Amino acid sequence: MTTTNNSKMTDQRLDLLTDWLETFFGDENFVITTVSDDASFRRYFRIERDNACFIAMDAPPNKENCEPFIRIAKHLITGGVHAPKIIETNLELGFLLLEDLGDQTFLNAQQKNFELQHYKNAIDVLINIQSLEIEAVNIPNYDAALLTTEMQLLIDWYLPVLSNKYHTQLQTIFALLSDNTLSTDQVFVHRDYHSRNLMLLENNELGVIDFQDAVVGSNTYDLVSLLKDAYFELKPTEVQTLLVYFYEQANIQNPFAEFEKQFDLMGLQRHLKVLGIFKRLSLRDGKHQYLANIPLVAKYALAVANKYPELESLSSILELANHQTHAMILAAGRGERMMPLTANTPKPLIK
């Protein structure tokens, strides 16, 4: 067995994974290579054996639960979605051995050679996912409490110290965004249906990964994750073309203008959450690479806040926060030389 370990996984976890694989394969004739560390506690490794490749998921049981991944993967595969097949499991140790869907993410493919048709294919897959029965899969509802808790991350991590006036304004906006979400058609929601979690397979078939946090929620949620992606920006004309494509292919009954506003407000809810998460990943977890994605997410949020009169108060709040965050991004990793830019930036309490 050969290991190429570029992750932060402890030696103990690596040893456990190696022992488990040796038991499963019956020998040591395989190579382990780090594939990715995501924004959670999960780690992924490619296992090469003879002419075959697999993906091993490491999900420490005290941090992650593999059971939803297994249940949802089976649900998606049964519905004709190319999710990774589950080859072997050990829930006690927190290991899964999965089908390898390759290295070509949707993001990499679009960065090399953008094709609008790939997005239409992704929308076709999404419409199929939304058509699947949700009762049997046993996933939670994206209810008002969860939606509000997510948006609260904006206050806890992204924004500077706010006056009571701003807090009151934000709570009103959070309620508006939550009500919008709950007023839309409720379907299976992947919850991270974006370019890093879609794999481009042979014949342009699409593989879907990282679906373990799925919920029952708005039919616009995954669409906005795809079209207003934190990692890849589409042109406004491309977003509009694809929005119309979804509207027509999904046979949405509401007037298009109403649907578009639901899409915009759903995106705002997601982007407010993501701003808080990306800042938390940097401040709490030391994953500073996510700071580079904040300007695009903030741009999405501000564009919607400026578009609708009822969100006017949010515009000024976001503008204030964006100035503070820009200084933080410039200073990240640069030591005391950049300290004057952030010396007066209020810091959240890191728990």
**Tens digit of pLDDT for each residue in 96-130?**
999 999 999 999 999 999 999 999 999 999 999 99
CB contact set of 342 (below 8 Å; sequence gap of 6+): 327, 328, 331
Predicted confidence at residue 4, as pLDDT, reads 59
pLDDT digits (tens, 9 = 90+) for 220-276: 999 999 999 999 999 999 999 999 999 999 999 999 999 999 999 999 999 999 999
Report which secondary-structure segment, H or E, holds 53.
Answer: strand 52-58
For all residues of the chain together, what is the average pLDDT?
90
Does the structure show a pLDDT above 50 at 348? no
pLDDT category of residue 38 using cuts at 50, 70 and 90: low
Instruction: Tell me which amino acid residue 348 is.
Output: P
Residue 226, number of CB atoms within 10 A of its CB: 25
If pLDDT is split at 50, 70 and 90, which confidence band does 338 have? Answer: very low
What does the pLDDT read at residue 329? 64
Backbone angles phi, psi at 245, to 5 degrees: -60, -45
> Is the domain defined by 106-342 classed in CATH 3.90.1200.10?
yes
CATH 3.90.1200.10 placement within the chain = 106-342
Please determine, for residue 7, whether its predicted confidence score (pLDDT) is greater than 70.
no
Q: What is the pLDDT of residue 165?
A: 78
CATH 3.30.200.20 residue spans of the chain: 2-99
Q: How confident is the model at residue 204 (pLDDT cuts 50, 70, 90)?
A: confident
Among the four given CATH numbers 3.30.70.2860, 3.30.200.20, 2.120.10.10, 3.40.50.300, the one describing domain 2-99: 3.30.200.20
Instruction: Answer whether 40's CB lies under 8 Å from 87's CB.
Output: no
Residue of 98, 21, 96, 101 lying closest to 66 (CA atoms): 96
Distance of CA 227 to the CA centre of its chain: 13
Neighbours of 27 (CB within 10 A): 10
